[in-house]
Amino acid sequence: MDYLQPERLLSLLMGEKAKEYIAQAGHKTLTVIRLNPLKAKSENILSLLEEEGFKLIPLSFYPFAYQLEYEPFPVSKSLAHFAGLIYLQDPSSMLPALVLSPQPGETVLDLTAAPGSKTTLMATLMENEGVLVACDNSGKRLRALSFNLERWGVINTGWMRILGEQVGNLFFETFDKVLVDPPCTALGTLHKSPEILRWWKEGKVIKLARIQERLLISGLKALKPGGVLVYSTCTLTPHENEGVIQAILERYPVEIETIFLPKGFNRTPGLTSFLNFKFSSEMEKTIRLYPLANLGEGFFIANLRKKESFRGPLKTKELIKEEWYHYEKFKEITALSEHFRFDPHIFVQKRFFLNNHIRLATQALAEFSSPIPLQKGISFARPMGKKWRLTTNGITWLAPFITQNRIELDRMSLRGLISGHNLPAPSGHEGQQLLTYHECPLGYGWVKNGFLVSQLPARSVIV
Protein backbone atom coordinates (compact mmCIF):
# COMPACT_ATOMS: atom_id res chain seq x y z
CA MET A 1 0.00 0.00 0.00
CA ASP A 2 2.44 2.61 -1.24
CA TYR A 3 -0.35 5.22 -1.08
CA LEU A 4 0.09 5.19 2.70
CA GLN A 5 3.59 6.62 2.38
CA PRO A 6 3.34 10.30 3.38
CA GLU A 7 4.76 11.81 0.18
CA ARG A 8 2.48 9.70 -2.04
CA LEU A 9 -0.55 10.23 0.19
CA LEU A 10 -0.10 14.00 0.31
CA SER A 11 0.31 14.08 -3.47
CA LEU A 12 -2.97 12.22 -3.93
CA LEU A 13 -4.76 14.58 -1.53
CA MET A 14 -3.13 17.94 -2.25
CA GLY A 15 -1.81 17.65 -5.80
CA GLU A 16 1.04 20.03 -6.64
CA LYS A 17 0.72 21.73 -3.27
CA ALA A 18 2.09 18.61 -1.60
CA LYS A 19 5.71 19.39 -2.52
CA GLU A 20 5.41 22.90 -1.14
CA TYR A 21 3.90 21.58 2.08
CA ILE A 22 6.61 18.95 2.57
CA ALA A 23 9.25 21.62 1.96
CA GLN A 24 7.83 23.49 4.97
CA ALA A 25 8.63 20.60 7.33
CA GLY A 26 10.43 21.94 10.37
CA HIS A 27 9.81 25.58 9.50
CA LYS A 28 7.57 27.37 11.95
CA THR A 29 4.99 29.37 10.03
CA LEU A 30 3.15 31.46 12.62
CA THR A 31 2.37 31.90 16.30
CA VAL A 32 -1.24 32.23 17.41
CA ILE A 33 -2.43 32.78 20.96
CA ARG A 34 -5.76 33.11 22.68
CA LEU A 35 -6.41 35.33 25.65
CA ASN A 36 -7.81 34.19 28.98
CA PRO A 37 -11.01 36.14 29.73
CA LEU A 38 -11.45 34.14 32.95
CA LYS A 39 -8.54 36.05 34.52
CA ALA A 40 -8.37 39.51 32.99
CA LYS A 41 -9.92 41.90 30.50
CA SER A 42 -8.68 41.51 26.93
CA GLU A 43 -7.55 45.14 26.72
CA ASN A 44 -5.35 44.70 29.78
CA ILE A 45 -3.72 41.51 28.48
CA LEU A 46 -3.11 43.15 25.11
CA SER A 47 -1.64 46.22 26.79
CA LEU A 48 0.78 43.99 28.70
CA LEU A 49 1.84 42.12 25.55
CA GLU A 50 2.27 45.33 23.58
CA GLU A 51 4.46 46.81 26.30
CA GLU A 52 6.62 43.70 26.07
CA GLY A 53 7.07 44.46 22.35
CA PHE A 54 4.68 41.98 20.74
CA LYS A 55 2.65 43.05 17.72
CA LEU A 56 -0.69 41.30 17.39
CA ILE A 57 -3.34 40.89 14.71
CA PRO A 58 -6.88 39.93 15.79
CA LEU A 59 -8.33 36.85 14.08
CA SER A 60 -11.98 36.89 13.05
CA PHE A 61 -12.96 33.32 13.93
CA TYR A 62 -12.73 33.73 17.72
CA PRO A 63 -12.79 37.03 19.63
CA PHE A 64 -9.88 36.08 21.91
CA ALA A 65 -7.56 34.73 19.17
CA TYR A 66 -4.58 36.76 17.93
CA GLN A 67 -1.74 36.12 15.52
CA LEU A 68 1.68 37.42 16.56
CA GLU A 69 3.00 39.54 13.73
CA TYR A 70 6.23 40.22 15.62
CA GLU A 71 7.89 38.53 18.61
CA PRO A 72 10.84 40.32 20.27
CA PHE A 73 11.45 37.02 22.07
CA PRO A 74 9.47 33.74 22.33
CA VAL A 75 6.05 34.56 23.72
CA SER A 76 6.32 31.44 25.89
CA LYS A 77 8.81 33.41 28.01
CA SER A 78 6.53 36.41 28.37
CA LEU A 79 4.98 37.60 31.59
CA ALA A 80 1.52 37.06 30.08
CA HIS A 81 2.27 33.40 29.42
CA PHE A 82 3.74 32.86 32.88
CA ALA A 83 0.62 34.33 34.49
CA GLY A 84 -1.78 32.10 32.55
CA LEU A 85 -3.18 35.04 30.59
CA ILE A 86 -2.53 33.49 27.17
CA TYR A 87 -2.38 30.02 25.60
CA LEU A 88 -0.41 29.17 22.47
CA GLN A 89 -2.65 27.20 20.12
CA ASP A 90 -2.88 26.63 16.39
CA PRO A 91 -6.03 28.13 14.80
CA SER A 92 -7.19 24.78 13.36
CA SER A 93 -6.72 23.17 16.78
CA MET A 94 -9.25 25.60 18.25
CA LEU A 95 -11.97 24.59 15.80
CA PRO A 96 -13.10 21.26 17.33
CA ALA A 97 -14.01 22.99 20.61
CA LEU A 98 -15.65 25.87 18.74
CA VAL A 99 -17.68 23.43 16.61
CA LEU A 100 -18.76 21.48 19.72
CA SER A 101 -19.68 24.81 21.35
CA PRO A 102 -20.12 23.66 24.97
CA GLN A 103 -22.35 25.99 26.96
CA PRO A 104 -22.52 27.04 30.63
CA GLY A 105 -24.45 24.49 32.64
CA GLU A 106 -23.83 21.54 30.30
CA THR A 107 -22.05 18.31 31.21
CA VAL A 108 -19.19 17.78 28.76
CA LEU A 109 -16.49 15.15 28.20
CA ASP A 110 -13.03 15.66 26.70
CA LEU A 111 -12.06 12.04 26.14
CA THR A 112 -8.35 12.48 25.24
CA ALA A 113 -7.63 15.80 26.87
CA ALA A 114 -3.94 16.21 27.74
CA PRO A 115 -2.12 18.54 27.59
CA GLY A 116 -5.25 20.71 27.75
CA SER A 117 -5.36 23.15 24.83
CA LYS A 118 -8.89 22.17 23.81
CA THR A 119 -9.93 21.57 27.44
CA THR A 120 -9.04 25.09 28.56
CA LEU A 121 -10.80 26.51 25.51
CA MET A 122 -13.95 24.53 26.28
CA ALA A 123 -13.84 25.65 29.92
CA THR A 124 -13.64 29.23 28.63
CA LEU A 125 -16.59 28.73 26.28
CA MET A 126 -18.53 27.32 29.24
CA GLU A 127 -17.65 30.48 31.22
CA ASN A 128 -16.20 28.27 33.96
CA GLU A 129 -19.65 26.85 34.77
CA GLY A 130 -21.24 23.43 34.48
CA VAL A 131 -19.17 20.22 34.38
CA LEU A 132 -16.24 19.38 32.12
CA VAL A 133 -14.51 16.01 32.59
CA ALA A 134 -11.05 15.56 31.06
CA CYS A 135 -9.45 12.13 30.59
CA ASP A 136 -6.04 10.77 29.65
CA ASN A 137 -3.97 7.69 30.46
CA SER A 138 -0.46 9.15 30.43
CA GLY A 139 0.92 10.30 33.77
CA LYS A 140 3.31 12.73 32.10
CA ARG A 141 0.58 14.23 29.92
CA LEU A 142 -1.81 14.43 32.87
CA ARG A 143 0.74 16.48 34.81
CA ALA A 144 0.79 18.94 31.92
CA LEU A 145 -3.02 18.92 31.82
CA SER A 146 -3.30 19.56 35.57
CA PHE A 147 -0.77 22.41 35.36
CA ASN A 148 -2.58 24.07 32.45
CA LEU A 149 -6.01 23.78 34.07
CA GLU A 150 -4.74 25.27 37.33
CA ARG A 151 -2.86 28.05 35.55
CA TRP A 152 -5.92 28.87 33.44
CA GLY A 153 -8.06 29.19 36.60
CA VAL A 154 -10.51 26.45 35.64
CA ILE A 155 -12.93 25.46 38.43
CA ASN A 156 -15.58 23.63 36.37
CA THR A 157 -13.23 20.85 35.23
CA GLY A 158 -12.15 17.57 36.77
CA TRP A 159 -9.50 15.27 35.36
CA MET A 160 -8.86 11.55 35.74
CA ARG A 161 -6.33 8.96 34.66
CA ILE A 162 -8.14 6.32 32.67
CA LEU A 163 -8.00 4.42 29.40
CA GLY A 164 -10.27 6.25 27.02
CA GLU A 165 -11.78 2.96 25.87
CA GLN A 166 -13.16 2.41 29.41
CA VAL A 167 -14.92 5.75 29.77
CA GLY A 168 -18.03 4.83 27.78
CA ASN A 169 -19.00 1.97 30.06
CA LEU A 170 -18.07 3.72 33.31
CA PHE A 171 -19.95 6.92 32.39
CA PHE A 172 -22.64 5.39 30.20
CA GLU A 173 -24.87 8.05 28.59
CA THR A 174 -23.82 10.73 31.07
CA PHE A 175 -22.70 13.68 28.92
CA ASP A 176 -24.53 16.28 26.84
CA LYS A 177 -21.54 16.76 24.54
CA VAL A 178 -18.30 14.88 23.89
CA LEU A 179 -15.03 15.76 22.19
CA VAL A 180 -12.86 12.93 20.82
CA ASP A 181 -9.51 14.18 19.55
CA PRO A 182 -7.52 10.92 19.54
CA PRO A 183 -3.83 10.17 18.95
CA CYS A 184 -3.08 10.28 15.22
CA THR A 185 -0.23 10.34 12.71
CA ALA A 186 -0.33 14.17 12.80
CA LEU A 187 0.37 14.56 9.09
CA GLY A 188 -1.18 18.02 9.22
CA THR A 189 1.58 19.32 11.51
CA LEU A 190 4.76 18.85 9.43
CA HIS A 191 5.72 22.49 9.87
CA LYS A 192 6.41 21.85 13.57
CA SER A 193 6.91 18.06 13.57
CA PRO A 194 9.22 17.08 10.67
CA GLU A 195 10.14 13.86 12.48
CA ILE A 196 6.83 12.42 11.27
CA LEU A 197 8.43 11.75 7.89
CA ARG A 198 11.12 9.66 9.60
CA TRP A 199 9.03 7.44 11.85
CA TRP A 200 6.06 7.05 9.54
CA LYS A 201 5.07 3.42 8.93
CA GLU A 202 2.11 1.92 7.14
CA GLY A 203 1.37 -0.30 10.13
CA LYS A 204 1.20 2.73 12.44
CA VAL A 205 -1.59 4.24 10.34
CA ILE A 206 -3.65 1.04 10.57
CA LYS A 207 -2.98 0.64 14.30
CA LEU A 208 -3.96 4.22 15.10
CA ALA A 209 -7.15 3.93 13.05
CA ARG A 210 -8.21 0.98 15.21
CA ILE A 211 -7.46 2.92 18.41
CA GLN A 212 -9.37 5.92 17.09
CA GLU A 213 -12.41 3.77 16.31
CA ARG A 214 -12.42 2.27 19.83
CA LEU A 215 -12.12 5.73 21.39
CA LEU A 216 -14.93 7.07 19.24
CA ILE A 217 -17.19 4.16 20.26
CA SER A 218 -16.36 4.86 23.91
CA GLY A 219 -17.20 8.54 23.46
CA LEU A 220 -20.53 7.68 21.85
CA LYS A 221 -21.41 5.33 24.71
CA ALA A 222 -20.71 8.15 27.19
CA LEU A 223 -22.95 10.52 25.20
CA LYS A 224 -26.64 10.95 26.03
CA PRO A 225 -29.14 10.07 23.27
CA GLY A 226 -29.66 13.17 21.15
CA GLY A 227 -26.28 14.55 22.19
CA VAL A 228 -23.48 15.76 19.94
CA LEU A 229 -19.95 14.37 19.58
CA VAL A 230 -17.15 16.09 17.67
CA TYR A 231 -14.41 13.84 16.31
CA SER A 232 -11.20 15.53 15.14
CA THR A 233 -7.64 14.72 14.14
CA CYS A 234 -4.65 16.76 13.00
CA THR A 235 -3.87 14.24 10.27
CA LEU A 236 -4.97 13.90 6.64
CA THR A 237 -5.06 10.13 6.09
CA PRO A 238 -8.51 8.84 5.03
CA HIS A 239 -7.93 5.70 7.13
CA GLU A 240 -7.90 7.81 10.32
CA ASN A 241 -10.68 10.15 9.28
CA GLU A 242 -13.42 9.14 6.82
CA GLY A 243 -12.56 5.46 7.32
CA VAL A 244 -13.15 5.68 11.08
CA ILE A 245 -16.42 7.61 10.67
CA GLN A 246 -17.64 5.16 8.01
CA ALA A 247 -17.09 2.21 10.34
CA ILE A 248 -19.20 3.94 13.01
CA LEU A 249 -22.01 4.85 10.60
CA GLU A 250 -22.33 1.21 9.56
CA ARG A 251 -22.66 -0.10 13.12
CA TYR A 252 -24.26 2.54 15.35
CA PRO A 253 -27.34 4.82 15.29
CA VAL A 254 -25.52 8.08 14.63
CA GLU A 255 -25.74 10.66 11.87
CA ILE A 256 -23.37 13.29 10.53
CA GLU A 257 -24.46 16.89 10.97
CA THR A 258 -23.38 19.88 8.92
CA ILE A 259 -20.56 21.96 10.39
CA PHE A 260 -20.84 25.73 10.25
CA LEU A 261 -17.31 27.08 10.40
CA PRO A 262 -16.51 30.61 11.50
CA LYS A 263 -15.12 32.99 8.90
CA GLY A 264 -11.46 32.73 8.01
CA PHE A 265 -11.20 29.07 7.00
CA ASN A 266 -11.24 27.41 3.60
CA ARG A 267 -13.10 24.16 4.10
CA THR A 268 -12.94 21.13 1.84
CA PRO A 269 -15.73 18.54 2.16
CA GLY A 270 -14.79 15.12 3.51
CA LEU A 271 -14.02 12.44 0.94
CA THR A 272 -16.79 10.21 -0.43
CA SER A 273 -14.16 8.05 -2.18
CA PHE A 274 -10.41 7.57 -2.15
CA LEU A 275 -8.78 5.23 -4.66
CA ASN A 276 -10.79 2.00 -4.27
CA PHE A 277 -12.42 3.06 -0.98
CA LYS A 278 -16.04 4.20 -0.96
CA PHE A 279 -17.57 6.27 1.83
CA SER A 280 -21.09 7.47 2.56
CA SER A 281 -22.29 10.52 0.61
CA GLU A 282 -23.01 12.04 4.04
CA MET A 283 -19.23 12.31 4.50
CA GLU A 284 -19.43 15.59 2.58
CA LYS A 285 -20.76 17.11 5.81
CA THR A 286 -17.40 16.48 7.49
CA ILE A 287 -14.61 18.93 6.77
CA ARG A 288 -10.97 18.80 5.80
CA LEU A 289 -8.66 21.73 6.40
CA TYR A 290 -5.58 21.52 4.23
CA PRO A 291 -2.29 23.26 5.08
CA LEU A 292 -1.37 26.19 2.82
CA ALA A 293 -5.06 26.75 2.10
CA ASN A 294 -5.59 27.85 5.71
CA LEU A 295 -3.84 29.85 8.38
CA GLY A 296 -3.38 26.79 10.58
CA GLU A 297 -2.34 23.15 10.32
CA GLY A 298 -4.17 20.33 8.57
CA PHE A 299 -7.26 18.99 10.33
CA PHE A 300 -10.29 16.76 9.93
CA ILE A 301 -13.53 17.38 11.86
CA ALA A 302 -16.79 15.42 11.99
CA ASN A 303 -19.91 16.44 13.92
CA LEU A 304 -21.98 13.40 14.99
CA ARG A 305 -25.47 13.23 16.50
CA LYS A 306 -26.45 10.18 18.58
CA LYS A 307 -29.96 9.26 17.45
CA GLU A 308 -30.94 6.72 20.12
CA SER A 309 -29.76 4.94 23.23
CA PHE A 310 -27.13 2.20 23.06
CA ARG A 311 -27.20 -1.08 24.93
CA GLY A 312 -25.81 -0.40 28.40
CA PRO A 313 -23.01 -2.24 30.24
CA LEU A 314 -23.87 -5.39 32.19
CA LYS A 315 -22.14 -4.15 35.33
CA THR A 316 -21.86 -0.72 36.91
CA LYS A 317 -19.22 0.43 39.36
CA GLU A 318 -20.03 2.04 42.71
CA LEU A 319 -19.67 5.81 42.75
CA ILE A 320 -17.08 7.49 44.95
CA LYS A 321 -18.61 9.81 47.55
CA GLU A 322 -16.82 13.03 48.54
CA GLU A 323 -17.71 15.73 51.03
CA TRP A 324 -17.58 19.18 49.46
CA TYR A 325 -18.68 22.07 51.65
CA HIS A 326 -20.55 25.35 51.31
CA TYR A 327 -18.50 28.47 52.08
CA GLU A 328 -20.63 29.30 55.15
CA LYS A 329 -19.01 26.37 56.95
CA PHE A 330 -15.68 28.24 57.08
CA LYS A 331 -14.86 31.26 59.21
CA GLU A 332 -11.71 31.50 57.11
CA ILE A 333 -13.80 32.78 54.19
CA THR A 334 -15.05 35.65 56.35
CA ALA A 335 -11.46 36.46 57.32
CA LEU A 336 -10.36 36.41 53.67
CA SER A 337 -13.30 38.60 52.62
CA GLU A 338 -12.41 41.14 55.29
CA HIS A 339 -8.71 41.12 54.39
CA PHE A 340 -9.24 41.46 50.63
CA ARG A 341 -12.64 43.20 50.87
CA PHE A 342 -14.80 41.09 48.58
CA ASP A 343 -18.37 39.84 48.88
CA PRO A 344 -18.29 36.23 50.14
CA HIS A 345 -21.53 35.54 48.27
CA ILE A 346 -19.39 34.96 45.16
CA PHE A 347 -18.98 31.44 46.58
CA VAL A 348 -22.70 30.62 46.79
CA GLN A 349 -22.56 28.35 43.71
CA LYS A 350 -19.05 27.06 44.57
CA ARG A 351 -17.85 24.33 46.91
CA PHE A 352 -14.68 23.61 48.91
CA PHE A 353 -12.89 20.32 49.53
CA LEU A 354 -10.44 19.99 52.42
CA ASN A 355 -7.17 18.05 52.30
CA ASN A 356 -3.57 19.31 52.39
CA HIS A 357 -4.71 21.91 49.85
CA ILE A 358 -8.20 23.40 49.93
CA ARG A 359 -9.72 22.93 46.50
CA LEU A 360 -12.37 25.13 44.85
CA ALA A 361 -14.88 23.90 42.26
CA THR A 362 -18.28 24.79 40.89
CA GLN A 363 -21.19 23.29 42.78
CA ALA A 364 -22.14 21.25 39.70
CA LEU A 365 -18.65 19.73 39.46
CA ALA A 366 -18.47 19.09 43.21
CA GLU A 367 -21.75 17.17 43.01
CA PHE A 368 -20.71 15.21 39.91
CA SER A 369 -20.22 11.57 40.97
CA SER A 370 -17.51 9.38 39.46
CA PRO A 371 -16.69 5.68 39.86
CA ILE A 372 -12.96 6.46 39.80
CA PRO A 373 -10.97 9.29 41.44
CA LEU A 374 -11.60 12.66 39.79
CA GLN A 375 -9.38 15.62 40.59
CA LYS A 376 -11.75 18.58 40.65
CA GLY A 377 -11.21 22.33 40.38
CA ILE A 378 -8.10 24.23 41.47
CA SER A 379 -5.89 24.34 44.52
CA PHE A 380 -7.33 27.45 46.16
CA ALA A 381 -5.64 27.78 49.54
CA ARG A 382 -3.46 26.11 52.17
CA PRO A 383 -4.35 25.91 55.87
CA MET A 384 -2.10 28.04 58.11
CA GLY A 385 -3.26 27.43 61.66
CA LYS A 386 -6.70 29.03 61.87
CA LYS A 387 -6.24 30.93 58.61
CA TRP A 388 -6.09 30.13 54.92
CA ARG A 389 -3.22 31.29 52.74
CA LEU A 390 -4.30 31.63 49.12
CA THR A 391 -2.28 29.81 46.47
CA THR A 392 -1.10 31.60 43.34
CA ASN A 393 -3.94 30.04 41.37
CA GLY A 394 -6.41 30.83 44.15
CA ILE A 395 -5.56 34.51 44.39
CA THR A 396 -5.48 35.01 40.61
CA TRP A 397 -8.93 33.35 40.34
CA LEU A 398 -10.18 35.66 43.11
CA ALA A 399 -8.50 38.75 41.61
CA PRO A 400 -11.56 40.25 39.85
CA PHE A 401 -13.33 40.48 43.23
CA ILE A 402 -10.44 41.78 45.38
CA THR A 403 -10.65 45.50 46.23
CA GLN A 404 -8.19 45.75 49.13
CA ASN A 405 -4.63 44.56 49.71
CA ARG A 406 -3.88 44.48 46.02
CA ILE A 407 -0.75 46.19 44.70
CA GLU A 408 -0.46 47.39 41.11
CA LEU A 409 3.22 47.16 40.19
CA ASP A 410 5.16 49.45 37.89
CA ARG A 411 7.87 48.06 35.65
CA MET A 412 10.73 48.91 37.98
CA SER A 413 9.10 47.29 41.01
CA LEU A 414 8.16 44.24 38.93
CA ARG A 415 11.75 43.79 37.83
CA GLY A 416 12.94 44.18 41.37
CA LEU A 417 10.57 41.54 42.70
CA ILE A 418 11.38 39.05 39.94
CA SER A 419 15.09 39.61 40.64
CA GLY A 420 14.46 38.55 44.23
CA HIS A 421 14.60 41.95 45.96
CA ASN A 422 12.29 43.05 48.78
CA LEU A 423 10.66 46.43 48.20
CA PRO A 424 9.14 49.08 50.49
CA ALA A 425 5.42 48.35 50.71
CA PRO A 426 2.66 50.93 50.22
CA SER A 427 1.29 52.22 53.50
CA GLY A 428 -1.77 50.48 54.91
CA HIS A 429 -0.85 47.07 53.49
CA GLU A 430 -0.14 44.03 55.65
CA GLY A 431 -0.14 40.28 55.09
CA GLN A 432 -0.86 38.55 51.79
CA GLN A 433 -1.19 40.84 48.77
CA LEU A 434 -2.53 40.37 45.26
CA LEU A 435 0.12 41.57 42.79
CA THR A 436 -1.07 42.95 39.44
CA TYR A 437 0.55 44.54 36.42
CA HIS A 438 -1.54 46.35 33.79
CA GLU A 439 -4.41 45.26 36.08
CA CYS A 440 -3.61 41.65 35.21
CA PRO A 441 -3.19 39.26 38.18
CA LEU A 442 0.31 37.78 38.45
CA GLY A 443 0.30 36.09 41.86
CA TYR A 444 0.93 37.23 45.38
CA GLY A 445 3.44 38.82 47.71
CA TRP A 446 3.67 39.22 51.45
CA VAL A 447 3.98 42.48 53.39
CA LYS A 448 5.75 42.29 56.71
CA ASN A 449 7.41 45.10 58.70
CA GLY A 450 6.81 47.53 55.85
CA PHE A 451 8.45 45.45 53.10
CA LEU A 452 6.93 43.55 50.19
CA VAL A 453 8.38 40.09 49.67
CA SER A 454 7.58 38.52 46.31
CA GLN A 455 6.17 35.02 45.95
CA LEU A 456 6.28 35.17 42.16
CA PRO A 457 8.14 32.09 40.84
CA ALA A 458 9.10 33.97 37.72
CA ARG A 459 12.89 34.28 37.52
CA SER A 460 12.91 32.86 33.97
CA VAL A 461 10.42 35.47 32.74
CA ILE A 462 11.75 38.23 30.50
CA VAL A 463 10.74 41.72 31.69
Burial of 70 (0-12, 13-18, 19+ CB in 10 A): exposed
Q: Which of 150, 153, 117 is nearest to 136 (CA)?
A: 117
Q: Which of 215, 222, 227 is nearest to 109 (CA)?
A: 222
Q: Which of 275, 292, 256 is nearest to 1 (CA)?
A: 275
135 is catalytic: no
Q: Are 228 and 222 in contact (CB under 8 A)?
A: no
Question: C-alpha dihedral over 207, 213, 219, 224, to 10 degrees?
Answer: -170
Q: Which of 118, 113, 115 is nearest to 95 (CA)?
A: 118
Of 135, 184, 234, 440, the catalytic one is: 234
Bridge partners for 353 per DSSP: 359
The DSSP letter of residue 216 is H
Cα distance between residue 187 and residue 183, in whole Å:
12
Q: Compute how many other C-beta atoms are within 10 angstroms of the C-beta atom of residue 412.
A: 9
Q: Compute how many other C-beta atoms are within 10 angstroms of the C-beta atom of residue 58.
A: 12
Q: Tell me how many degrees the CA angle 238-243-245 measures, rounded to the nearest 5.
A: 120
Cα distance between residue 250 and residue 230, in whole Å:
18
Burial of 348 (0-12, 13-18, 19+ CB in 10 A): exposed
Residues belonging to the active site: 234
